[in-house]
Amino acid sequence: MGRYFLFLLLLIGTIESVFAQNESETILRHLAKAEALQYELKDSAIYHATIAEDLSQRLGDNSLLAKTYNRQGAVHYVSGNYSKAMERFSMAWEIFDEIGDMKGKVFAMNGLGLIYLTEDEFEQAIDLWEQCLEINRSLGDSVSVAKNLFNIGIGHCELLQHEQSYAAYSDALIFLKGNEGHGLNLMIRNRMAKHFFDIGDPQQSLSNYLDVLENVENVSTWEKAYAYTGLGEVYLSINDLQKAEEYGAKGYEEAQQIGAHWDLERVTSLLSKLYQQNGDISNALFFTQQNKAHSDSLYTSTKNRQISRLQLKVSQAVNESLIAENEAALQKVKFRNIALILSLIGLIILAGLIFVMGKNIKLKERFNKELKELNSSIRFQNDQIAQQNASLSAINRTKDKLFSILSHDLRSPIHSILQTLELHQMGYFDESQKNEAMDLLYKQVSKTDSMLNDLLKWASEQTENIHAKFSSVDAGSVIEELVEVYDFQARAKDIQVRHQLRPISPIWVDRNQFRIIFQNLFHNAVKFTPSYGEISIFYEEDEFSVTVYLRDSGEGMDEQSLLSFSGKKEVRMHSMVGTADEKGSGLGLLLVRQFVAQNKGFIGLSNLPVKGTEFKVTFQKASPVQINS
């Protein structure tokens, strides 16, 4: 019986070992897929890296988990999400440092150096890569040595140290001998092409870029985007505008596939300059706006990382201070113990006194232990209170914003209802007009009630913060509903509303926030359009987006209001009285800007040449997968 039991234990152990081995192999396969796809299909790469993270945590293997963090950092870096990349590389570095895995640690250090590079901290980046270089040389890893040399070359290039930069690239190619098919080879040649362009040798630059693109089997989407954009820059510099446009368009197409802000910022800058030189103002304006959007995204991401790093430095400084204080306290305890021992030796004949002193020491230690536990409990309670206060503050801010939205969106329809009732009480309607007014009043109250229900339902879903819940939305049908809601106000001022409704592609937005955006814009149009004026709404779409235009025939906005709305800083605009003495709070357009940004859209405001104002709002199209989901 005992032998059977022992056999069963061995069998269970074998099964568990095989299961763990299979899990590890599965994780490594997902990591390999993430690495293979990181330059081509960002979302797929993130998907495989996320699965690898979940499996590693379930398996409890810290080494595999750290490898997963390193790969996630690389994927996020390629896609331009530098804050996320920095977070993942830092997590990997901590684990590898703890378990003593130098190869994994140096990979994370190399990634952190790349983040320094995006923040223009070139000297720090080079210093970190030189540390990586020494470690990889000691490990005999020639490919990793080549990567470090390549990155050091980029750092010198950004510092305009062209000779050091070219020397580093050349050394990197030497270490890649025997690995010519490695993707790093093409990255280095792309950067060498950029080096020749920077030093004023366009022909050598063209030759290098074309060599990269001819390597069809190994060139990635990322490297194609870099090479095409580089070719566009070279041809623009030698005034061959046709080829510059051809390669710039290809670079833009490839950069959009990987979705990296850095590449998109570079290629949209090229296309903006090209179309300005060509005199194509429409395309120049479009790519200037695109360039600004990607530049702003990079700037915001950099600032967020700098804040995070500053917080980390503060925490490290506090920790160092605590360590120093602890060492000083330990030194004091050490001296105290020495003095105590000397005292005990001097008073050894006084056994009774020694007993009393020993008892006092024990009481003191117990008291210190109790005091330490009490201090720990107090710190824990203080941390909980601070977290609760922060949460309550966030909830309170969200509550205030929701109340502002509700009051702002309901003021206009309720004001119209009140005006109608006042006219009725003052006896301005005859019998036939009373019936018509009551019908209009009934419709207005019904629509206002429906709008209130939608607003309350949406508000109840906003818990700690107002956030976008994306879905596929038919923009035309939502705007048509709003036109009906404001029909009463428009008719009261004899305003003609032309809604050029036609079949358009669905957009990918938060439906309620989209409704609030155009409810505010349409309310403003009615407010500032004089009696017998006109409001028109129409649509345009291209391969990637849908644009909604809303024009009115009012007096237009003053220069100060236009500058305030178009500025980087989001401020509450000064409220102006409408053409029928309508009053406002100035909150509407601030909400519009915030919600357009949350829904990844763009908004433009301008005065029309003759008379009136035009809002141009652009949103991303919903993909077929998003529509079906």
- Quote the CA–CA distance of 462 and 460 in Å, as a whole number: 6
Return the axis-axis angle of helices 281-346 and 102-118, rounded to nearest 10°: 130
Q: How confident is the model over 286-313, as a mean pLDDT? A: 65
Nearest to 552 by CA among 514, 608, 603: 608
User: What is the C-alpha separation between 426 and 191, in angstroms, rounded?
Assistant: 80
CATH of the domain spanning 25-96:
1.25.40
What's residue 38's pLDDT?
80
Which of the four pLDDT bands, split at 50, 70 and 90, describes residue 15? very low
- Angstrom distance (rounded) from CA 574 to CA 591: 14
Instruction: Give SS3 for 53.
Output: helix
CA distance 85 to 68: 12
| CA 374 – CA 137 distance, rounded (Å) | 51
Q: Which of 497, 391, 498, 519 is nearest to 447 (CA)?
A: 519
In this predicted structure, which of 2-16, 368-382, 530-544 has the lowest mean pLDDT? 2-16
Question: Which amino acid appears at position 300 of this protein?
Answer: T
Q: Given this model, what pLDDT does residue 573 score?
A: 62
Q: Greater confidence, 370 or 61?
A: 61
Query: Looking at residue 404, what is its pLDDT?
Result: 58
467 pLDDT above the threshold of 60: yes
Q: For the chain, what percent of residues have pLDDT higher than 90?
A: 18
Task: Give the model's pLDDT for residue 392.
Answer: 43
For residues 510-526, average pLDDT: 92
Q: What pLDDT sits at residue 459?
A: 54
pLDDT value at residue 298? 62
> Is the pLDDT reported for residue 477 higher than 90?
yes
In CATH terms, the superfamily for domain 468-628 is Histidine kinase-like ATPase, C-terminal domain (3.30.565.10)
Which is more confident, 402 or 46? Answer: 46
Per the prediction, the chain carries an average pLDDT of 80
Neighbour order of strands in the sheet with 602-607 = 496-499, 534-541, 545-552, 613-620, 602-607
More confident residue, 180 or 48: 48
**pLDDT > 70: percent of the chain:** 77
Confidence of residue 312 (pLDDT cuts 50, 70, 90): very low
Query: Stretch 17-29: mean pLDDT, rounded?
Result: 75
Q: Is-contact 215 188, C-beta < 8 A?
A: no
Which tops the pLDDT comparison, 316 or 45? 45
Q: DSSP for 333-368, please give it.
A: HHHHHHHHHHHHHHTTT-HHHHHHHHHHHHHHHHHH
Cα gap 255→264, rounded to integer Å: 6
Q: How confident is the model at residue 547 (pLDDT cuts 50, 70, 90)?
A: very high
Q: What's the one-letter identity of residue 624?
A: P
Q: Over the stretch 233-289, which tens digit does the pLDDT of each residue have? A: 899 889 998 888 888 898 898 888 877 777 888 889 989 988 888 888 888 889 888
Per the model's pLDDT, the better-predicted residue between 447 and 347 turns out to be: 347
pLDDT at 36: 83
pLDDT value at residue 383:
66
Tell whether the model's pLDDT for residue 412 goes beyond 90: no
Where do the structural domains in the chain lie, given as residue ranges? 25-96, 120-179, 468-628
What pLDDT, on a 0 to 100 scale, did the predictor assign at position 379?
76
Average pLDDT value for residue range 108-135: 85
Whether pLDDT at 296 is above 80: no
- Give the closest residue to 520 by CA, choosing from 405, 441, 608, 398: 405
pLDDT, tens only, 317-345: 434 554 566 677 678 778 788 888 888 88
The helix or strand, by DSSP H or E, that contains position 230, with its residue range, turns out to be helix 221-237
Query: For 171-180, 290-299, 462-471, 555-564, which range has the lowest pLDDT when averaged over its residues?
Result: 462-471
User: How far apart are alpha carbons 592 and 596 in whole angstroms?
Assistant: 6
127-167 pLDDT, tens digit per residue, is: 888 888 888 888 888 888 888 888 898 889 888 888 888 99
What is the rounded CA–CA span in Å between residue 620 and residue 601?
Answer: 7
pLDDT of residue 454: 57
Q: For residue 186, give the nearest of 236, 226, 246 by alpha carbon.
A: 226
Range name among 101-110, 474-483, 601-610 with the lowest pLDDT average: 101-110
Region 602-616: mean pLDDT is 91
Element containing residue 416 per DSSP (H, E): helix 351-425
- pLDDT given at position 241: 87
pLDDT (0 to 100) of residue 316: 47
Per-residue confidence (pLDDT) for residue 551, from 0 to 100: 96
pLDDT higher than 50, residue 411: yes
- The CA-CA-CA angle for residues 272, 608, 514, to 5°, reads 75
Read off the pLDDT band of 365 (50, 70, 90).
confident
Comparing 372 with 612, the larger pLDDT belongs to 612
| pLDDT band at residue 177 under the 50/70/90 scheme | confident
The predicted structure's pLDDT at residue 416: 66
Residue 325 corresponds to which tokens in the numbers above? 């204080």
Instruction: Identify the top-confidence range among 122-131, 317-326, 471-480, 604-613.
Output: 471-480
